[in-house]
C-alpha cells in the first residue's frame, strides 16, 4: 500500500507539471500574462534598437540575459554532481535520514527513485538554460547585423520584419529560461517527497498555485501592462507555453 501511495504521488507531480504547462499555453492565447506581455516588450525593444546609432546598451542587455542562463546552468551541474554522489552512497544517506525527526524511511528502491526523479528535473533544467543561452547568442548576432538607422537600402517593411524576427528569437530564449527556472520550483516540490508522499503532492499543488498567481495575477503583470498600451494579444502565443519566474 505504501508503494502505491508513492506512485500516486509521482503521477500527481507529473500531472501538475505537464497539466499546468498545457493549461498556461492555452490560457496565454486569450488572456494577458507575464509571458505574452514581455513578448510585446521584447519586440518593441528590437524596433527601438533599429532606431539607435549606438547599440552598445542593447548588446550589454543581451549579454546580461545570457549570463543569467549560464549561472543557472552551472548551478544545475553542481546539483547534479551532488545527486549522483548521493546515489553512490544511498545506504549511508538513508541512515542519516533515519535519524531525522520527520518523515518515514522508504525502501531502497523508492529512495533511489526519488533521487532519480530529482536528477531528471535538473537535467531538464540544464538543457533549457543552455538552449536559452544559445538563443541569446543568436540575438547578439542579430543585434550586430541589424541595419543602421540611416541605411536607405532596407525598406520600412524589411525593418519591421527584422524587428519581429529578432524579437521572436529573444522571446524563445526568454521562454526557455523561464521553463528552466520553473523546474527549480518543481525540484523543491520533489524535496517534499523525501518527507512523505502526501507532502510531495501538497508541494506540487502549491507550486502550481504560485506559478499561476505570478503569471496571471501578479502585481508585476499589472505594472508591465500599465507601462504600455496593448491593442492586440501577442501573435502566435497559442503555439508557445506561458512561463513565469
Residue 4: CA count within 13 A, CB half-sphere? 1
Report residue 30 CA to chain centroid gap: 21
Question: How is residue 229 written as a grid cell?
Answer: 498600451
pLDDT attached to residue 71: 96
Distance CA 78, CA 70 (A): 13
Alpha helices in the chain (DSSP H): 2-27, 34-50, 56-88, 90-98, 108-145, 156-193, 197-216, 219-226
Contact 234, 39 (CB under 8 A): yes
- The predicted pLDDT at position 99 comes to 73
pLDDT at 72: 97
- The b-or-e profile of 52-91 (16+ CB within 10 A means b, else e) is eeeeeebeebbeebbebbeebbeebeebbeebeebeeeee
Give dist(CA 172, CA 152) in Å, integer: 30
pLDDT, tens digit, 9 for 90 and up, residues 83-95: 999 888 888 878 7
Among 177, 175, 204, residue whose Cα is nearest residue 36: 175
Q: In tens digits, what is the pLDDT along the chain, a chain of 245 residues?
A: 468 899 999 999 999 999 999 999 889 888 999 999 999 999 999 999 999 999 999 999 999 999 999 999 999 999 999 999 988 888 887 877 777 766 667 788 898 999 999 999 999 999 999 999 999 999 999 999 999 998 888 899 999 999 999 999 999 999 999 999 999 999 999 999 988 899 999 999 999 999 999 999 999 999 999 887 655 444 444 444 444 44
Q: How far is CA 82 from the centre of its chain?
A: 22
pTM equals: 0.88
Contact 216, 30 (CB under 8 A): no
How far is Cα 165 from Cα 176, in angstroms, rounded to an integer? 17
The whole-number pLDDT of residue 102 equals 67
For the stretch 218-238, pLDDT in tens is 999 999 998 876 554 444 444
Half-sphere exposure of 96 (CA within 13 A, CB side): 7
Query: 112: how many CB neighbours lie within 10 A of its CB?
Result: 15
* CB within 8 Å of 209: residues ≥ 6 apart: none
Q: Distance (Å, rounded) from C-alpha 95 to C-alpha 105?
A: 9
How many angstroms separate the CA atoms of 60 and 55, rounded? 9
The CA distances from residue 12 to 17, 63, 198, in Å, are 9, 38, 10
Amino acid at each position: 500500500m505504501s508503494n502505491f501511495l508513492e506512485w500516486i504521488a509521482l503521477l500527481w507531480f507529473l500531472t501538475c507539471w505537464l497539466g499546468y504547462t498545457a493549461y498556461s499555453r492555452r490560457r496565454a492565447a486569450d488572456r494577458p500574462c507575464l509571458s505574452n506581455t514581455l513578448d510585446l516588450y521584447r519586440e518593441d525593444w528590437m524596433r527601438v534598437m533599429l532606431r539607435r546609432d549606438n547599440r552598445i546598451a542593447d548588446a550589454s542587455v543581451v549579454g546580461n540575459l545570457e549570463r543569467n542562463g549560464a549561472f543557472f546552468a552551472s548551478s544545475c551541474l553542481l546539483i547534479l554532481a551532488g545527486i549522483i554522489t548521493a546515489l553512490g552512497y544511498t545506504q549511508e544517506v538513508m541512515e542519516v535520514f533515519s535519524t531525522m525527526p520527520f518523515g518515514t524511511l522508504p525502501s531502497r528502491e523508492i529512495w533511489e527513485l526519488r533521487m532519480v526523479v530529482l536528477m531528471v528535473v535538473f537535467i531538464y533544467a540544464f538543457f533549457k538554460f543552455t538552449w536559452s543561452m544559445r538563443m541569446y547568442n543568436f540575438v547578439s548576432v542579430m543585434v550586430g547585423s541589424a541595419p543602421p538607422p540611416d541605411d536607405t537600402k532596407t525598406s520600412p517593411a524589411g525593418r519591421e520584419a527584422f524587428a519581429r524576427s529578432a524579437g521572436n528569437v529573444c522571446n524563445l530564449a526568454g521562454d526557455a529560461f523561464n521553463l528552466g527556472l520553473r523546474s527549480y520550483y518543481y525540484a523543491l516540490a520533489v524535496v517534499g517527497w523525501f518527507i512523505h508522499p502526501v507532502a510531495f503532492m501538497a508541494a506540487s499543488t502549491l507550486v502550481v498555485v504560485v506559478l499561476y498567481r505570478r503569471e496571471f495575477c501578479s502585481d508585476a503583470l499589472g505594472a508591465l501592462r500599465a507601462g504600455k498600451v496593448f491593442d492586440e494579444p501577442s501573435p502566435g502565443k497559442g503555439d508557445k507555453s506561458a512561463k513565469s519566474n
